[in-house]
Amino acid sequence: MLVRAMLAQNVGTGCAFGGLGISVLAMQERYHASLGTATMGLSLTVLSMTALGPMMAGLISRYGLRSVMTSGVAMSLLGYLALAFAPTMALALAACALLIGPGSALFAALPPAVLASGWYPHDRGKVMGIAYLPLLVTFLPLLGVDIIQRHGLTAFYLSIVAIHLLLLPLMLGVADPPEELLDEQETVASPTGSAKVVILGSMLFWVIVVGDGILNGTAIAGSAHMLPVIKEYGVSLETGAMLLSSSGVASIIGSLVAGYACDRVGSATTLALSAMGFALAWTLIAITGWLPVLTVASFLIGFCGASVFPPISALVVRIFGIDALPKVLGLLGVMTLPFTFIMSAAAGWLHDLWGNYEPAFATLIATCLLAAAAFFGISRHLARMGAAEPDVCGGYLSPADPG
């Protein structure tokens, strides 16, 4: 079941972020659209994917993992099939918003975590790390750019359809965790309505919303705009694909290092350092198109992008407690939608308006610095409250861990 969880997560998020990210220029050319409109595909996918998040627990409880994940693969498959033959940009964007995003949410967002952690309750932190290793996003840019250049955009999307078809039988073999394993796990109570009000009334929650939204929006902007930026610097698309693959490798490293950083410096400080890393990456990209510098910047974007979710979860546990984790993460997903949806598209619109990326670079750098200031502020606040942030990023994954 762990292998199925890992493959599901990789196909869903890898095809969305890797596939839609590298096809921005090809979509722009096919539909004669502006860059801002072309990048909307990924933004709408993330929007619908996140919007469905709060309903996932109820769907899994009612229909079971097999039905939910299989339906998600089928829906996403139909989305990429529609994308391959969409005659207009409007229909292409509709496929992203109505099929690919919701489908990916059903089989690649929360379900892999439920599947992996449910079958291996005593090694939850370890199996979650394996299930969410971003492997496909490392290789897809290289393969995808080659397919697009040799055979066209339709062939590329059909290859993604083929990947989904290969995954479908594996999802039909998904089994919910046995009752005896579920009985061994402690039940984490969901906060009541009054607890929800307390969360929304917390100033720290809204600071986290701003910081988390900026970091996730910046990561999405990096996926959508890396190839267009590289093209403007005169770098070949093949080289650009290699840079995106290096970003994928960096994300694997970042997801591993994030836990260590939480142990050493605390979750809020880890998030602040990730924001500083994003700001440095975009500064390097803005300064020069020299390939070694672009390589470092691409690595930083991948590394920092993967260093957000574990510290955010640990910070939520640190501030609101383990019982509130599901509710707070659900609220964060909804409240950060404006950032995850707008930032990538806004970078494209700024480029269309000014004719270059300089305003977009300045905006991304400024917002990342704002996020860094927000998380450094939270870290200092927690220190003043009398605790040195004893965060363990992997610890929140195991209810049996009293730490």
CATH number for 169? 1.20.1250.20
Q: Cα separation of 202 and 208, whole Å? A: 10
How many structural domains does the chain have?
Answer: 2
Per-residue pLDDT, 393:
52
pLDDT < 50 regions, the chain: 182-194, 387-392, 394-403
**Three-class DSSP category at 152:** coil
* CA-closest candidate to residue 108, choices 63, 145, 71: 71
The reply to whether 48 and 192 lie within a common domain is no
Q: Give the global pTM.
A: 0.80
Containing H/E element for 198? helix 193-200
Per-residue pLDDT, 353:
94
For residue 314, the enclosing domain spans 188-403
Q: Cα separation of 100 and 75, whole Å? A: 7
The reply to whether 304 and 243 lie within a common domain is yes
The reply to whether 133 and 30 lie within a common domain is yes
Boundary-marking domain end, from 128, 155, 185 = 185
Per-residue pLDDT, 307:
85
What would the two tokens of residue 170 be? 């594996």
Q: How many CB atoms lie within 10 A of CB 366?
A: 12
The reply to whether 170 and 240 lie within a common domain is no
The reply to whether 305 and 397 lie within a common domain is yes
Cα separations in angstroms, 218 against 197, 279, 382: 29, 9, 26
Q: Cα separation of 82 and 76, whole Å? A: 10
The reply to whether 127 and 218 lie within a common domain is no
Per-residue pLDDT, 400:
33
Per-residue pLDDT, 112:
87
Boundary-marking domain end, from 185, 206, 225 = 185
Q: Cα separation of 113 and 131, whole Å? A: 7
Q: Cα separation of 135 and 249, whole Å? A: 8
Boundary-marking domain end, from 185, 217, 251 = 185
The reply to whether 180 and 305 lie within a common domain is no
The reply to whether 20 and 163 lie within a common domain is yes
The reply to whether 369 and 221 lie within a common domain is yes
Per-residue pLDDT, 120:
79
The reply to whether 91 and 194 lie within a common domain is no
What would the two tokens of residue 256 be? 């591993």
Report the length, in residues, of the chain: 403
Q: Give how far the C-alpha of residue 61 lies from the chain's centroid of Cα atoms, to the nearest Å.
A: 24
Per-residue pLDDT, 41:
93
The reply to whether 229 and 321 lie within a common domain is yes
Per-residue pLDDT, 201:
82
Q: How many CB atoms lie within 10 A of CB 129?
A: 18
The reply to whether 223 and 319 lie within a common domain is yes
